[in-house]
Structure 1
Amino acid sequence: MGTIIIELMGGLGLFLAGMNMMSHGIEKVAGSKLRSILEAFTKNRFLGLVVGLFFTAVIQSSSAATSMAVSFVNSGLMNLAQASGIILGANIGTTVTALLVAFKLSAVAPIFVLAGAIMCNFFKAPMVKKSGEIVLGFGILFMGISAMSSAMGVLRDMQFVIDFLANFTNPFLGMLLGLVITSIVQSSSVTVSILVVMASQGLVDLRICMFVILGCNIGACTSALLTAISGGKNAKRTALIHLLFNIFGTILMFVLLLLFGDFIESIVLMVAGGGIDSGTLGRQIAYTHFLFKVFQVIVFYPFMNWIIKLTYIIVPGEDSLPEEKENEFVAHFISNALPDPSVAVYVAVKEMERMAYMAFNNLNLAVECLIDVDEDGANQVHETEKYINYLNMEVNNYLIKINQNAIPLGDANKISAYFHVNGDIERIGDHAESIADMIPAFKDRNLTLSKQSISELREMMGAVNVVLEKSLKMFVSGDETYMKDVLDYENRVDNYEMKLQDAHIERLKEGVCSARAGVYFADIISSLERVGDHATNIAFALTKSKADA
């Protein structure tokens, strides 16, 4: 008996280890891409549903998908309606693991283990190693299933097991068991997969498994609820959407099973194939899980707005900030609350993007205020620069925190570049401030720029704005089609500096411009040329293409 228990627990351990290794490997290899898809293609609930389904099916974890949705909402990158779509999709996507288990791939598991081990140990390329982790995890997962199946085959013939399972028919106990186990392992996929293995050995029947699956639905909400504890009100509402959807769905299915259990069972048998006593019981349970989830999504999809409204009743009010922090609020994160590491890097990029646009706008404001000799505008430039400096420190601290956590391989390689980009954005803000610093001298000495100087300055500023815009888009999107425009306009900015310096010297000779104003004008165009350099640094931060250009 002791040997059987050890084999059963060992098989379960292999299954859990393989599942974690596979999902973590996928996250490291493709996490940043999947995360971008998750945020970009959730503009409406249906798209969110499709993306949530795909995302969960790939990473084999609805808990990760819903926790990520909570983090996105908490970071201000997604609203509740968008998050609700991801949650609906994740509920269907989570059934993929059990469906795979039901197809009994254990015979080929050693091949995957060997292939994965070779990729992890005999290749130096990080991407191959991480891909090997996925393959190895897949093989270990099915070897664990094979070990559990072997142990359960022996248990099936033991009289005390037969007697216990014969009396295990209470639907409430079945639900409770599913809820407790899933809450502990924080994965409905694991619990249902174990049910599939047990059923394939004839240890449980289809009807009681249906009630256990209903309990799994509620237990699967644990991860999202834990993630939301440290988040704001909207993060808590997101976790509640997940919980309420599963509670309402469980209640509905529970009542339907009590009233129409035989009919529902016949539908499952028709879809999955085989009879109730055939060797296809494991597949029938996997299909039950899938059909329940699809049915719940179809029924409750039209009522998701009502569920969202209910979360506002349960969690009333809006997030508030301490009074002294009102002018220092970081839009996409609060520095002491790091979201899910898989979301954190994306959040940092979005915050740097917001900070960059603030610096760009401040630069334009500084130039126009200098032209108009507007001291009030100069004060506004200085206030915004304080905010930019604050954001710069917060982003740096945030990146340090991210670097201390386990993050996808692709993101880990980018962290150093992000520090440099953050610095380049802050330097652009400094150039705006240095231009604004000239305004008091212009007013005190009654200085003005000539009409020709103003025209040339605005012309150069137009080229600077284009290179800033294109560079930021290239950095945020990773789209290298912006590269040509970035290089072209950066060259234009360089040419403008030389051209304007020469024209300025000619005006000084002709007495069109004053010598004092001329000194400031030379400093301005020099600052704008440096801004162009910083913009190019931002564009090429994540690519080696600059060296080849």
Structure 2
Amino acid sequence: MISILVSLIGGLGLFIAGMYMMSHGIEKVAGNKLRKILETFTRTRLTGVLVGMFFTAVIQSSSTATVMVVTFVNSGLMALSNACGIILGANIGTTITAMLVAFRLSAIAPIFVFFGAVMMNFIPNPTVKKSGEIVMGFGLLFVGISTMSSSMAALREIPAVITFLSSFTNPVLGVLMGFVITSIVQSSSVTVSILVVMGSMGLVDLRICMFIILGCNIGACSSAVLTALQGNNNAKRAALIHLLFNIFGTILMFVLLLLFSPQIETIIRTISGTGDDPGSLGRNIAFAHFIFKVFQVVVFYPFMDQIIKLTYVLVKDGEEQEDSEDVFKLRYINLNKLPNPAVAIYMAKQEMERMANAAFTNLATAMDCLLNEDASGIEKVYETEKYIDWLCEQINTYMTKINQNAIPLRDADLIAGYFHVCSDIERIGDHAEDIADIVKYFNEKDVHLSTDAKEELKGMMAIVRELMKDSLDMFVTGDMTNMEKVRDLENKTDELERELQNKHIQRLSEGLCSAQAGVFFSDIISGIERVGDHATNIAFSLYDAKNRRNEKAG
């Protein structure tokens, strides 16, 4: 008995490891492309259903898909109405794993393991290595199923096991079991696949499996709900849509099964093409999972607007705390929970954009204090600078965690560039603090800049402000159309810095500017010029990353 249980647990471990390896291999190879598909092809709810179905079928995880959707909604990248379609589609796409298990590919599984191992260990191309992970994961998944099947065949010979499983007929307990197990393993695919194997061995009947599947549907929502708890109201609503859809679907199917269980079993056997063949119970279980999901989507699709309205009733539009330097918080990233690398990198980029806007605004505030000779705003500058430093530290920690994963070469180059971008943004923030220090000194010592000096600083800042805006746009969009414009603005800033230094020296020699103010004026224009350099670095981060990839490829 012990040896049977050990074999069963080992087979389950191989199955989970194979599914994990295959899913994560797909994310590494195509995660960034899949993320772009989610962003681009979800303009309508119907296309969202199709994309969600395709996306989840590819990555083999509805939990990953819904967590990604919740993350996008939280960051404002996806409307709640569009998220609905993806969530519905994800519920159908997640059935593909059990369908594969039902088709008994165990006989050829070792071939996939062999070729996957060869691709991972003997072929140097990084993309082939990642593809090898997918192939090997696929093979391990079915090796695990074969091991579990052998163990369950042995269990079938133990009368006590058969007696226990035969007595397990309570529908409510079936739903609860599915919910608990799926909540623990964070994957309905794992739970349903185990049921498919058990059904293939004749250990369970179709009726109780259908109730367990209903519980799996609710348990599969746990990952998205946990992610949403740390998000904004719309993120909570997106997770709630997923939960409500599965709760309502479970209630509907539960009632239908209680009333029409024999008829539903007949429909499932007819659609699966197995008829009354007792050896095809595993396939019937997989088809039951698929049919339930499709039925739920068809039934509830017309009522999604009402479900969205219900989420607004359950999650009130209270006053969400705004980001502020007084309350250090992150909007897009969570250091305690890292999504798949493609999404994590994108979220880091969003957080850096927010950090850049804070730094640019802080620089403008410091310059206003200087030009208006008003020291009342410098404490605000100091507090915001502390916030920017904190953001930089948090983002760098987050990106370090991303880098610790095996990520594609393209993503590794992006992360390398992002570290530099984060540093450049932080340095722009430092220059705002330097100007605030000068304002404080001027206020205490009653030092004033000349009118000409102020006008020159205004002109230089106008150029640098445009340079910062264009650079950030390039970084955010990846569009390098304005590359030459950024170069020209940076060169113009350098030339203007030299010109203003010469004019400054001339004013000093003519006695039009005090020596005390003159020293600081020289420092200010040098600092603004360096801000232009940092802004240019931000713009060229993607260009440099592409060059690094080309050099490595060459």
Q: TM-score range by the shorter chain?
A: 0.7 to 0.9
Residue in structure 2 matching 1:340, options 330, 338, 341:
338
CA distance in 2, matches of 1:165, 1:91: 28
Which residue number corresponds to residue 8 of structure 2?
Answer: 8
Q: Which amino acid aligns with 1:131?
A: S
Are the counterparts in 2 of residues 186 and 220 from structure 1 also a CA contact under 8 Å? yes
| Aligned-partner SS, 1:409 | coil
Residue in structure 2 matching 1:409, options 401, 407, 410:
407
Q: Which amino acid aligns with 1:424?
A: D
| Aligned-partner SS, 1:327 | coil
Are the counterparts in 2 of residues 199 and 282 from structure 1 also a CA contact under 8 Å? yes
Moved more, 264-273 or 432-441: 432-441
Which residue number corresponds to residue 474 of structure 1?
Answer: 474
What does the per-residue CA deviation read over 1:359-410, in whole Å, with 9 as the maximum and x for residues that have no partner? 223434555665xx3134x643651453133132233135325635764625
| Aligned-partner SS, 1:189 | helix
Q: Which amino acid aligns with 2:470?
A: K
What does the per-residue CA deviation read over 1:216-263, in whole Å, with 9 as the maximum and x for residues that have no partner? 112223333444566677665554433322111101112223334454
What does the per-residue CA deviation read over 1:413-456, in whole Å, with 9 as the maximum and x for residues that have no partner? 655544432221122123344446556749955644449x84x7
Q: 1:226 to 1:354 in 2, by over 3 A?
A: closer
Deviation at 1:201, TM superposition (A): 4.2
CA distance in 1, matches of 2:167, 2:329: 58
RMSD, aligned CA: 4.2
Residue in structure 1 matching 2:391, options 387, 394, 402:
394
Which residue number corresponds to residue 329 of structure 2?
Answer: 330
Q: Which amino acid aligns with 2:389?
A: N
Structure 2 length-normalised TM: 0.80
Q: Which amino acid aligns with 2:183?
A: S
| Aligned-partner SS, 2:115 | helix
Deviation at 1:141, TM superposition (A): 0.4
Are the counterparts in 2 of residues 355 and 388 from structure 1 also a CA contact under 8 Å? no
CA distance in 1, matches of 2:400, 2:508: 56
Deviation at 1:85, TM superposition (A): 4.3
Are the counterparts in 2 of residues 341 and 407 from structure 1 also a CA contact under 8 Å? no
Moved more, 304-313 or 58-67: 304-313
Deviation at 1:348, TM superposition (A): 3.2
Q: 1:425 to 1:530 in 2, by over 3 A?
A: same
Which residue number corresponds to residue 189 of structure 1?
Answer: 189
Which residue number corresponds to residue 213 of structure 2?
Answer: 213
Which residue number corresponds to residue 198 of structure 2?
Answer: 198
Which residue number corresponds to residue 380 of structure 2?
Answer: 383
Which residue number corresponds to residue 103 of structure 1?
Answer: 103
Q: Which amino acid aligns with 2:215?
A: G
Which residue number corresponds to residue 177 of structure 1?
Answer: 177
CA distance in 2, matches of 1:435, 1:56: 51
Structure 1 length-normalised TM: 0.81
CA distance in 1, matches of 2:137, 2:462: 53
Structure 1 unaligned runs (5+)? none
Which residue number corresponds to residue 354 of structure 1?
Answer: 354
CA distance in 1, matches of 2:15, 2:256: 33
Which residue number corresponds to residue 117 of structure 2?
Answer: 117
Structure 2 unaligned runs (5+)? none
Q: 1:120 to 1:374 in 2, by over 3 A?
A: same
Deviation at 1:18, TM superposition (A): 0.8
Q: Percent identity?
A: 59
| 1:62-101 superposed matches below 5 A | 62-71=62-71, 81=81, 83-101=83-101
| Aligned-partner SS, 1:328 | coil
CA distance in 1, matches of 2:183, 2:449: 72
CA distance in 2, matches of 1:322, 1:534: 28
Deviation at 1:112, TM superposition (A): 1.8
Q: Give the number of aligned pairs.
A: 541
Are the counterparts in 2 of residues 374 and 439 from structure 1 also a CA contact under 8 Å? no
Are the counterparts in 2 of residues 330 and 391 from structure 1 also a CA contact under 8 Å? no
Deviation at 1:165, TM superposition (A): 5.7
CA distance in 2, matches of 1:512, 1:276: 104
What does the per-residue CA deviation read over 1:133-175, in whole Å, with 9 as the maximum and x for residues that have no partner? 2222111001112223344455557666666666555433433
| Aligned-partner SS, 2:274 | coil
Q: Do structure 1's residue 540 and structure 2's residue 531 form an aligned pair?
A: no
Which residue number corresponds to residue 272 of structure 1?
Answer: 272
Deviation at 1:187, TM superposition (A): 1.3
Q: 1:211 to 1:518 in 2, by over 3 A?
A: same
CA distance in 1, matches of 2:447, 2:226: 62
Are the counterparts in 1 of residues 47 and 85 from structure 2 also a CA contact under 8 Å? yes
Are the counterparts in 2 of residues 15 and 142 from structure 1 also a CA contact under 8 Å? yes
| 1:364-383 superposed matches below 5 A | 364-367=364-367, 370=370, 373-376=371-374, 379-380=376-377, 383=380
Q: 1:199 to 1:233 in 2, by over 3 A?
A: same
Deviation at 1:215, TM superposition (A): 1.9
| Aligned-partner SS, 2:326 | helix
CA distance in 1, matches of 2:230, 2:197: 37
